[in-house]
């Protein structure tokens, strides 16, 4: 079977050969990754060039006191400098050749290398995503477990209702409201960016936490967390509701399993049963879902990034499309897709390796 | 059997599709208990009929059904009942709540807010339903074929699904809008294509399972032609879980569409639309919060209602807990 | 709108410059999708006081001033427009031969301490100030000026990055020679007289870069810009912020603040919120809709800056060939509604036609060219037999444009037109303007802004039949008798500032409107400058024109 392995709640014992099959499937999927990325690169390449509007028109327009003729000359010059005067097929060939040699090109607007732009944008996005997921998992697991243990009671109903509402929240308005309440009215938290302007920060890796350690500047950590709270919580709220549901279902499922019954019969306390058996066996679906979420957050938190002026890869992508900055869009799309594919692949591997039911099999 | 039916709704929205597979069974079993209780009481009339179908079994679900039906009715019939023009600008801008002739006041261009809210329901509903339908058709088609055919066909189709999953959906929509202009068409296609992979995975898994069953094997051996097997034999047998999942998709589509509209990628002014109204009203967050709060709340309620109704329908249509 | 921040306007002609607004826009405005809803192209440029850590050191009070900007590509190069914010940084890092403060419209000496202009108006001899230090420690000499200006004038210059827009290219086309007489004397010889040279040299494109740095970094100078300005470059992160530090040896004394941070803030509501929260303490990109709210809040100050840009409706004369119909369009427009509803009162009706109140040559005698008269509009439309004519209207999707488009659509429908509108992301907008075959090329809403306030920059650009507006966009060049317009414009441009010049421009404008009507004026407005109440000493008049003079600012 080719697709991602199917996480199942009720998984029959698998014979060893099935496990080998599964490993083989994973290996084949690994081989498929470059194919998928190549197809994606090609699609984005074509799509960008099919778009109306050209980067050179924008570049050449820098001076509208010029005559129409002078603008046309400017445009031709820019077009030549950027290689856009070549036939499309030649451009595509050049692009693929560069790609194979891991050259991702330069932005049309200022010649920044795409890699350095990604180096500026990705860390912010990854920080934000991980922080949001941490909050979401904490919230979601606690509420999910409680709801499962109190199944059928008002606690359960309320939790599930709140969870459903929270993952339906119009997250686009949520950030704006959070800013008004916590930033403007209460003035508890900063509303802009990753660090205060007054802090002198020279990125090494651009991951603030990592840099704080590398540069031995732990005074960065406090302000960094302050700046992270609002955007991360905004993103996390909707995710948490969703995790609550998964955790609840997953825990309920495991609670019905034989080994839990056995554990209880052995006289283990309820909390020990939950810690040692239930949670350990119900986190797999959670991880799988988180993998997918991670991917969609990478390219997807455009609004959060914009509202909180949190320079990230989502905005880089959107801005690239609007400016018709082909190399930036191509590079950013590829980077997002690569991370998405790798993270999900890793999750599936983890799933296979750690699934107790497979391991025991 | 449960498949991981993740999709990438983008924009940081939560992925209800992925939630569905795991949460379904357990929630369902809890509800079925109540469901039986309900039937024991022998209700009569249409409500009882619904109850026998297993629909409207919890109070959030009931409320949601009512809200959803109401909002669809308002979207369809409301514009006929409201005389105020949602587009016509007047000089009486920014009137507050309860102004004479303008129950909910007017917006920054002097247009009746109530009329805009009523008219503004249509685009969101249309995009949500149409893109879900598109996703259902693509997803079921691709998944069915892949699951049934297996081998190289399956390989190719499922790689395409992987590709679609990895393709940032915000990029897809922006490309569509840049190429075809903003509006419902771009939104429907963008949202529909973004949500299709999740459904395709589920359909493939279900179809593969059915294909291995004796009756299909028999039908194939008996020389039944492939399209016939697919449509007449397999499709009906996977319909229950698929429909349940499609309904869940509706809420994701609604949330996604509202977000895109908010980004200015959807319906263009002056046509009223909730998502755009939230975005435009945000300018008046401090001075006239109603202009953002009303459309945002309605959008929220619509998405919440879709979720509860989706849960409810899944319980009813997929009692085996496939999804 | 009354202008409190501006002193007595000098009646000297400053000459036209590259219009900043247009540059912006042309430069694909940052693609930040304002139009795309969220991000107004023109994002915010504000001064934010971070509160924390008012660092000492130096002569001033110290501290950090945070300006919110539209966007940053982390490239600061006077020869390459990337974003408004990037150029505001250039404005702080480098200084030019001349300087216009915007509190007065007159070019004053800066790096050039004096200049001589020959009687034939062709030769400019600049004497440089002695002993001016660059941030890299080198001393200003004529070699630096030559190296800088040659990047603007010569498209093949080796230090230009790919696609560089060279804002002074048009000046370069009129330059016969540029030479150094000695270490501190530069001679510029023109092919034809141009009274706007001194003003053009004050613009960001004319900012002088250290030759040593140019030699060292070549086309990568934008990442290591070295000038003589009050702030030196420290670091920049694309999409996030640019950090500048006070330059101790600045010619006019070290600025009071220690750090100037230009931070990208794109969401309009985020701009307002961060002004109120103090995360940003000033910006000229404040959304107009917030003006009342901000005026009533004691923690911020809303500055009155004079209206310096035109909101315009361009009409393609090739697609709307009847003058009567074009005039009917002009007569249908409700400018009061546009000022009130699209600009929230931050603006005025275009009484001086294409010349806004902030500029020399503003003549309210032209107010009749932009009045609403619906009955007359309907009458003209009937005479032309064009009732029910279908028109396509295109507007960028950011800032005030979509709202103005909605108002104009309604006005025209009231007059008897049928109007279909489209809103376009700003990057596509510029290229669609240049495409006469576009479905929506009948009517186009745009704006014209100038860094340097002069009639030539507004009228001279827009009414020139050979210019972008006159040919590509409106097709003015296809109409009868326009040849003499170009001659009149050249003549008016080279008149000394004064009544005669104003009269000449008024004459041209009247003819332009009455005989051709290819651009209807919608409103005059300004970028809304707002700062934290504790921020002092920022040049708000300049900031209102996207110019960034922060050498006296303190927090």
Burial of residue A31, with CB atoms counted within 10 A of its CB: 0-12 exposed, 13-18 middle, 19 or more buried: exposed
Is residue B220 domain-shared with residue B165, that is, in the same domain? yes
Examine residue B10 and state whether it is found in any structural domain, yes or no: no
| pLDDT on residue B320 | 56
Compare A62 and A268 and report the one with higher pLDDT.
Answer: A268
Is residue B47 domain-shared with residue B113, that is, in the same domain? no
| pLDDT on residue B52 | 63
| pLDDT on residue C162 | 86
Interface ipTM = 0.83
Average pLDDT over residues B38-60: 60
CB nearest A192 (choices: C81, C265, C426): C265
- The CA distances from residue C253 to C133, C231, C234, C551, in Å, are 12, 11, 19, 9
Nearest CA in chain A to C430: A58
Tell me the chain C residues in contact with residue B265 when contact means C-beta distances shorter than 8 Å: 36-37
| pLDDT on residue A18 | 66
Question: Where does a domain end: A78, A100, A122?
Answer: A100
CB nearest C468 (choices: A66, A82, A120): A66
DSSP letter at A86 equals: S
| pLDDT on residue A117 | 92
Average pLDDT over residues A188-208: 86
- What is the residue range of A93's domain? 37-100
Examine residue B93 and state whether it is found in any structural domain, yes or no: yes
Which residues neighbour B312 within 8 Å (Cβ) at sequence distance 6 or greater? B55, B56, B57, B58, B61, B64, B65
Phi, psi torsion values for C299, nearest 5 degrees: -80, -10
Question: Where does a domain end: A46, A78, A100?
Answer: A100
| pLDDT on residue B46 | 60
Cα(B74)–Cα(B260) distance, integer angstroms: 23
Examine residue A289 and state whether it is found in any structural domain, yes or no: yes
* Interface residue C436 vs chain B (CB under 8 A): no
Is residue B48 domain-shared with residue B70, that is, in the same domain? no
Compare C517 and A279 and report the one with higher pLDDT.
Answer: C517
Q: What percent of chain C has pLDDT over 90?
A: 66
| pLDDT on residue B51 | 64
Examine residue A53 and state whether it is found in any structural domain, yes or no: yes
Most confident of A102-111, A340-349, B16-25, B258-267: A102-111
Examine residue B187 and state whether it is found in any structural domain, yes or no: yes
Examine residue A54 and state whether it is found in any structural domain, yes or no: yes
Nearest CA in chain A to C429: A53
Is residue B49 domain-shared with residue B118, that is, in the same domain? no
Query: Cβ–Cβ of A67/C464 closer than 8 Å?
Result: yes
Task: State how far residue A170 is from chain C, nearest Cα, in angstroms.
Answer: 15
Mutation target for B interface from C33, C289, C407: give the one with most B CBs within 10 A: C289
Is residue B67 domain-shared with residue B206, that is, in the same domain? yes
Q: What percent of chain C has pLDDT over 70?
A: 89
Domain count, chain B: 2
Structure tokens belonging to residue B91? 């000089």
Examine residue A25 and state whether it is found in any structural domain, yes or no: no
Query: Cβ–Cβ of C237/A120 closer than 8 Å?
Result: yes
| pLDDT on residue A68 | 75
Is residue B210 domain-shared with residue B193, that is, in the same domain? yes
Cα(C402)–Cα(C538) distance, integer angstroms: 31
- Residue B15 pLDDT greater than 50, yes or no: no
Is residue A263 domain-shared with residue A132, that is, in the same domain? yes
Subunits with at least 3 CB pairs below 8 A relative to chain A? B, C
Examine residue B251 and state whether it is found in any structural domain, yes or no: yes
| Band (B54; pLDDT cuts 50, 70, 90) | low
Query: Cβ–Cβ of C166/A62 closer than 8 Å?
Result: yes
Average pLDDT score over chain C? 86
Examine residue A6 and state whether it is found in any structural domain, yes or no: no
* Interface residue C157 vs chain A (CB under 8 A): no
Is residue A57 domain-shared with residue A187, that is, in the same domain? no
Compare A25 and C98 and report the one with higher pLDDT.
Answer: C98
* Interface residue B181 vs chain C (CB under 8 A): yes
User: Tens of pLDDT along A137-178?
Assistant: 899 889 988 888 888 788 888 888 888 888 777 666 788 888
Average pLDDT over residues B227-242: 83
The CATH number linked to B215 is: 1.10.3720.10
Average pLDDT score over chain B? 77
Question: Where does a domain end: A74, A100, A126?
Answer: A100
Is residue A124 domain-shared with residue A45, that is, in the same domain? no
| pLDDT on residue B248 | 76
| pLDDT on residue C11 | 32
Cα(A81)–Cα(A98) distance, integer angstroms: 17
Structure tokens belonging to residue A41? 């690169």
**Strands C123-128 and C175-182, bridge-based pairing:** unpaired
Is residue A204 domain-shared with residue A320, that is, in the same domain? yes
| pLDDT on residue A93 | 93
Tell me the chain B residues in contact with residue C269 when contact means C-beta distances shorter than 8 Å: 282-283, 285
Write down the residue that tokens 């002069």 correspond to: C454
Compare C8 and C425 and report the one with higher pLDDT.
Answer: C425
Size of interface B-C (CB pairs under 8 A): 66
- Of B74-78, B185-189, B226-230, C65-69, minimum mean pLDDT range: B226-230
Examine residue B13 and state whether it is found in any structural domain, yes or no: no
User: Tens of pLDDT along C158-204?
Assistant: 999 888 878 888 889 899 999 999 999 999 999 999 988 998 899 89
- What is the residue range of B152's domain? 59-317
* Interface residue C16 vs chain A (CB under 8 A): yes
- Residue C416 pLDDT greater than 70, yes or no: yes
CB nearest A173 (choices: B25, B251, B278): B278
Tell me the chain A residues in contact with residue C81 when contact means C-beta distances shorter than 8 Å: 62
Is residue B235 domain-shared with residue B178, that is, in the same domain? yes
Is residue B132 domain-shared with residue B235, that is, in the same domain? yes
Compare C329 and B156 and report the one with higher pLDDT.
Answer: C329
Is residue A90 domain-shared with residue A160, that is, in the same domain? no
| Band (C52; pLDDT cuts 50, 70, 90) | very low
Examine residue A4 and state whether it is found in any structural domain, yes or no: no
Examine residue B323 and state whether it is found in any structural domain, yes or no: no
Task: State how far residue A224 is from chain B, nearest Cα, in angstroms.
Answer: 22
- Residue C82 pLDDT greater than 80, yes or no: yes
CB nearest C406 (choices: B181, B270, B284): B270
Mutation target for A interface from B2, B14, B33, B205: give the one with most A CBs within 10 A: B14
Query: Cβ–Cβ of B255/A333 closer than 8 Å?
Result: no
Examine residue A17 and state whether it is found in any structural domain, yes or no: no
Q: How many CB atoms lie within 10 A of CB C415?
A: 23
| pLDDT on residue C496 | 86
| Band (A361; pLDDT cuts 50, 70, 90) | very low
Is residue B142 domain-shared with residue B224, that is, in the same domain? yes
Tell me the chain A residues in contact with residue B25 when contact means C-beta distances shorter than 8 Å: 9, 249, 253
- Of A159-163, A175-179, B51-55, C442-446, minimum mean pLDDT range: B51-55
- The CA distances from residue A39 to A30, B160, B200, C40, C90, in Å, are 15, 9, 19, 34, 41
Could you tell me if residue C520 is left (phi over 0), alpha (psi between -120 and 50 degrees) or otherwise beta? beta
| Band (A65; pLDDT cuts 50, 70, 90) | low
| pLDDT on residue B321 | 55
Q: Which of C140, C164, C143 shows the shortest CA–CA distance to C153?
A: C164
Query: Cβ–Cβ of A296/B8 closer than 8 Å?
Result: yes
Is residue A45 domain-shared with residue A131, that is, in the same domain? no
Examine residue B2 and state whether it is found in any structural domain, yes or no: no
User: Tens of pLDDT along A38-48?
Assistant: 999 999 999 88
- Of A8-22, B137-151, B235-249, B287-301, minimum mean pLDDT range: A8-22
Assess contact for C517 and C333: CB atoms under 8 A: no
| pLDDT on residue C29 | 29
- Residue C389 pLDDT greater than 90, yes or no: yes
Is residue A85 domain-shared with residue A212, that is, in the same domain? no
Nearest CA in chain C to B91: C337
- Which residues in chain A (124-153) have CB-CB distances under 8 A to chain C? 124
Write down the residue that tokens 């619904």 correspond to: B50
| pLDDT on residue B135 | 96
Query: Rounded to a whole number, what is the largest CA-CA distance in chain B?
Result: 75
* Interface residue C265 vs chain A (CB under 8 A): yes
Structure tokens belonging to residue C467? 């210019």
Is residue A180 domain-shared with residue A124, that is, in the same domain? yes
| pLDDT on residue C25 | 33
Is residue A245 domain-shared with residue A348, that is, in the same domain? yes
Is residue B144 domain-shared with residue B289, that is, in the same domain? yes
Is residue A197 domain-shared with residue A328, that is, in the same domain? yes
* Interface residue A71 vs chain C (CB under 8 A): yes
| Band (C98; pLDDT cuts 50, 70, 90) | very high
Question: Where does a domain end: B30, B53, B76?
Answer: B53
Subunits with at least 3 CB pairs below 8 A relative to chain C? A, B
| pLDDT on residue C311 | 95
Is residue A329 domain-shared with residue A298, that is, in the same domain? yes
Size of interface A-B (CB pairs under 8 A): 226
Is residue B78 domain-shared with residue B180, that is, in the same domain? yes
Examine residue A128 and state whether it is found in any structural domain, yes or no: yes
Domain count, chain A: 2
| pLDDT on residue A354 | 65
Nearest CA in chain B to A2: B155
Tell me the chain B residues in contact with residue A242 when contact means C-beta distances shorter than 8 Å: 14-16, 18-19
Compare C286 and A176 and report the one with higher pLDDT.
Answer: C286
CB nearest C406 (choices: B263, B269, B285): B269
| pLDDT on residue B44 | 55
Most confident of A288-292, B288-292, C102-106, C320-324: C320-324
Tell me the chain B residues in contact with residue A250 when contact means C-beta distances shorter than 8 Å: 22, 26
Burial of residue A337, with CB atoms counted within 10 A of its CB: 0-12 exposed, 13-18 middle, 19 or more buried: buried
Q: How many CB atoms lie within 10 A of CB C528?
A: 26
Q: Which of B176, B180, B179, B147 shows the shortest CA–CA distance to B161?
A: B147
- Of A103-112, B276-285, C292-301, C488-497, minimum mean pLDDT range: B276-285
Query: Cβ–Cβ of A120/C240 closer than 8 Å?
Result: yes
Subunits with at least 3 CB pairs below 8 A relative to chain B? A, C
Task: State how far residue C274 is from chain B, nearest Cα, in angstroms.
Answer: 13
- Which residues in chain C (241-270) have CB-CB distances under 8 A to chain B? 268-269
Burial of residue C102, with CB atoms counted within 10 A of its CB: 0-12 exposed, 13-18 middle, 19 or more buried: buried
| Geometric angle at alpha carbon A251, from A250 and A257, rounded to 5° | 95
Query: Cβ–Cβ of C290/B283 closer than 8 Å?
Result: yes
Is residue B40 domain-shared with residue B76, that is, in the same domain? no
User: Tens of pLDDT along A236-256?
Assistant: 887 888 888 888 877 887 777
User: Tens of pLDDT along B69-116?
Assistant: 999 999 888 888 887 888 888 777 788 888 888 888 888 888 888 999
- Residue C61 pLDDT greater than 80, yes or no: no
- Residue B36 pLDDT greater than 70, yes or no: no
- Residue A4 pLDDT greater than 80, yes or no: no
């Amino acid at each position: 079977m080719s697709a991602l392995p199917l996480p199942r709640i009720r998984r029959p014992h698998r014979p060893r050969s099935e496990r080998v099959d599964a490993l083989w499937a994973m290996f084949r999927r690994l081989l498929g990754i470059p194919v998928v990325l190549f197809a994606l690169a090609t699609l984005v390449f074509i799509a960008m060039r099919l778009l109306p509007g050209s980067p050179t028109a924008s570049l050449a327009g820098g001076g509208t006191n010029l005559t129409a003729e002078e603008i046309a000359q400017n445009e031709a010059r820019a077009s030549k400098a950027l290689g856009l005067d070549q036939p499309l097929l030649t451009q595509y060939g050049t692009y693929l050749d560069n790609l194979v040699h891991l050259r991702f090109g330069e932005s049309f607007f200022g010649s920044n290398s795409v890699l350095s732009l990604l180096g500026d944008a990705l860390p912010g996005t990854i920080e934000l995503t991980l922080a949001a997921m941490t909050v979401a998992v904490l919230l979601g697991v606690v509420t999910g477990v409680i709801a499962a243990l109190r199944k059928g009671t008002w606690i359960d109903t309320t939790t599930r209702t709140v969870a459903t509402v929270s993952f339906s929240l119009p997250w686009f308005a949520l950030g704006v409201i959070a800013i008004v309440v916590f930033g403007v009215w209460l003035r508890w938290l900063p509303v802009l960016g990753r660090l205060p302007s007054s802090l002198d920060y020279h990125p090494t890796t651009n991951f603030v936490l990592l840099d704080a350690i590398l540069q031995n500047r732990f005074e960065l950590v406090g302000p960094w967390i302050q700046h992270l709270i609002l955007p991360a919580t905004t993103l996390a709220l909707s995710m948490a509701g969703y995790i609550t549901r998964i955790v609840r279902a997953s825990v309920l499922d495991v609670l019905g399993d034989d080994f839990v019954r056995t554990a209880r019969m052995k006289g283990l306390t309820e909390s020990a049963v939950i810690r040692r058996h239930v949670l350990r066996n119900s986190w797999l679906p959670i991880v799988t879902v988180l993998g997918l979420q991670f991917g969609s957050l990478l390219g997807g938190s455009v609004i959060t990034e914009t509202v909180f002026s949190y320079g990230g890869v989502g905005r880089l992508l959107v801005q690239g499309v609007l400016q018709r900055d082909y190399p930036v869009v191509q590079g950013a799309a590829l980077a997002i897709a690569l991370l998405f594919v790798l993270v999900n692949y890793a999750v599936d591997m983890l799933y296979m390796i750690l699934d107790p039911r497979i391991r025991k099999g | 059997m449960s498949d991981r039916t993740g999709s990438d709704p983008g924009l940081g929205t939560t992925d209800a599709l992925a939630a569905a597979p795991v949460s379904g069974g357990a929630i369902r079993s809890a509800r079925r208990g109540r469901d039986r209780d309900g039937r024991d009481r022998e209700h009569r009339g249409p409500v009882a009929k619904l109850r026998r179908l297993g629909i409207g079994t919890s109070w959030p679900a009931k409320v949601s059904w009512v809200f959803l039906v109401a909002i669809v009715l308002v979207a369809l019939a409301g514009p006929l009942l409201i005389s105020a023009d949602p587009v016509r600008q007047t000089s009486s801008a920014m009137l507050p709540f309860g102004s004479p002739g303008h129950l909910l006041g007017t917006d920054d261009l002097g247009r009746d807010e109530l009329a805009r809210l009523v008219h503004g329901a249509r685009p969101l509903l249309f995009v949500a339903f149409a893109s879900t339908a598109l996703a259902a058709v693509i997803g079921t088609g691709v998944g069915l074929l892949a699951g049934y055919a297996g081998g190289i066909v399956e390989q190719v189709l499922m790689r395409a699904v992987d590709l679609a999953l990895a393709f940032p959906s915000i990029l897809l929509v922006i490309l569509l809008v840049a190429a075809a202009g903003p509006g419902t068409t771009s939104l429907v296609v963008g949202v529909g294509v973004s949500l299709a992979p999740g459904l395709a995975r589920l359909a493939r898994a279900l179809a593969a399972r059915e294909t291995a069953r004796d009756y299909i094997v028999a039908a194939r051996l008996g020389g039944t032609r492939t399209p016939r097997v697919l449509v007449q034999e397999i499709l009906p047998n996977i319909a229950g879980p698929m429909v349940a999942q499609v309904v869940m998709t509706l809420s994701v589509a609604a949330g996604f569409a509202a977000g895109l509209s908010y980004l200015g990628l959807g319906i263009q002014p002056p046509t009223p639309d909730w998502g755009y109204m939230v975005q435009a009203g945000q300018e008046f967050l401090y001075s006239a919060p109603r202009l953002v709060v009303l459309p945002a709340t309605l959008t929220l309620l619509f998405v919440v209602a879709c979720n509860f109704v989706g849960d409810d329908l899944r319980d009813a249509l997929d009692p085996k807990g496939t999804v | 709108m009354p202008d409190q921040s501006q002193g007595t306007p000098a009646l000297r002609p400053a000459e036209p410059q590259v219009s900043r607004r247009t540059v912006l826009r042309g430069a694909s405005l940052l693609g930040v999708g304002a139009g795309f809803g969220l991000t107004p192209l023109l994002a915010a440029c504000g001064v934010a006081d971070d509160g924390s850590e008012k660092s000492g050191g130096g002569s001033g009070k110290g501290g950090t001033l945070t300006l919110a900007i539209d966007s940053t590509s982390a490239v600061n190069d006077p020869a390459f427009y990337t974003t408004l914010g990037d150029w505001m940084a250039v404005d702080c890092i480098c200084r030019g031969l001349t300087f216009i403060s915007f509190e007065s419209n007159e070019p004053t000496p800066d790096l050039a301490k004096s200049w001589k202009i020959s009687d034939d108006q062709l030769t400019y001899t600049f004497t440089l100030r002695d002993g001016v230090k660059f941030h890299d420690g080198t001393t200003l000499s004529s070699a630096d000026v030559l190296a800088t200006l040659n990047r603007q004038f010569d498209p093949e210059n080796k230090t230009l990055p790919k696609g560089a827009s060279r804002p002074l290219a048009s000046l370069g086309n009129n330059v016969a020679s540029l030479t150094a007489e000695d270490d501190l004397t530069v001679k510029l010889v023109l092919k034809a007289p141009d009274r706007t040279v001194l003003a053009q040299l004050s613009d960001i494109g004319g900012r002088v870069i250290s030759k040593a740095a140019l030699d060292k970094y070549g086309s990568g100078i934008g990442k290591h810009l070295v000038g003589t300005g009050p702030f030196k470059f420290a670091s920049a992160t694309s999409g996030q912020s640019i950090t500048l530090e006070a330059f101790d040896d600045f010619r006019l004394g070290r600025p009071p603040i220690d750090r100037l941070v230009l931070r990208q803030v794109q969401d309009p509501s985020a701009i307002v919120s961060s002004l109120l929260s103090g995360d940003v303490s000033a910006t000229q990109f404040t959304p107009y809709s917030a003006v009342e709210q901000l005026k009533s809040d004691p923690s911020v100050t809303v500055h009155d800056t004079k209206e310096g840009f035109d909101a315009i409706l361009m009409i393609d004369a090739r697609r709307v060939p009847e003058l009567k119909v074009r005039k009917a369009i002009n007569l249908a427009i409700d400018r009061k509604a546009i000022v009130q509803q699209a600009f929230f009162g931050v603006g005025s009706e275009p009484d001086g036609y294409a010349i806004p109140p902030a500029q020399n040559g503003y003549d309210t005698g032209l107010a009749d060219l932009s009045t609403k008269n619906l009955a007359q509009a309907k009458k003209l439309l009937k005479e032309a037999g064009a009732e029910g004519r279908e028109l396509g209207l295109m507007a960028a999707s950011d800032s005030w444009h979509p709202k103005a488009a909605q108002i104009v659509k309604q006005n025209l429908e009231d007059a008897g037109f049928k109007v279909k509108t489209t809103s376009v992301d700003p990057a596509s907008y510029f290229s669609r303007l240049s495409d006469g075959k576009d479905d929506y090329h009948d009517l186009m809403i745009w704006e014209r802004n100038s860094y340097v306030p002069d009639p030539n920059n507004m009228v001279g650009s827009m009414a020139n039949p050979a210019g972008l507006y006159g040919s590509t966009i409106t097709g003015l060049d296809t109409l009868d008798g326009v040849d003499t317009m170009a001659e009149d414009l050249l003549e008016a441009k080279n008149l000394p500032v004064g009544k005669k010049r104003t009269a000449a421009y008024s004459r041209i404008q009247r003819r332009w409107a009455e005989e051709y009507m290819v651009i209807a004026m919608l409103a005059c407005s300004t970028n809304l400058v707002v700062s934290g109440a504790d921020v002092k000493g920022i040049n708000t008049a300049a900031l209102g024109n996207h110019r960034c003079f922060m050498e006296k600012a303190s927090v």
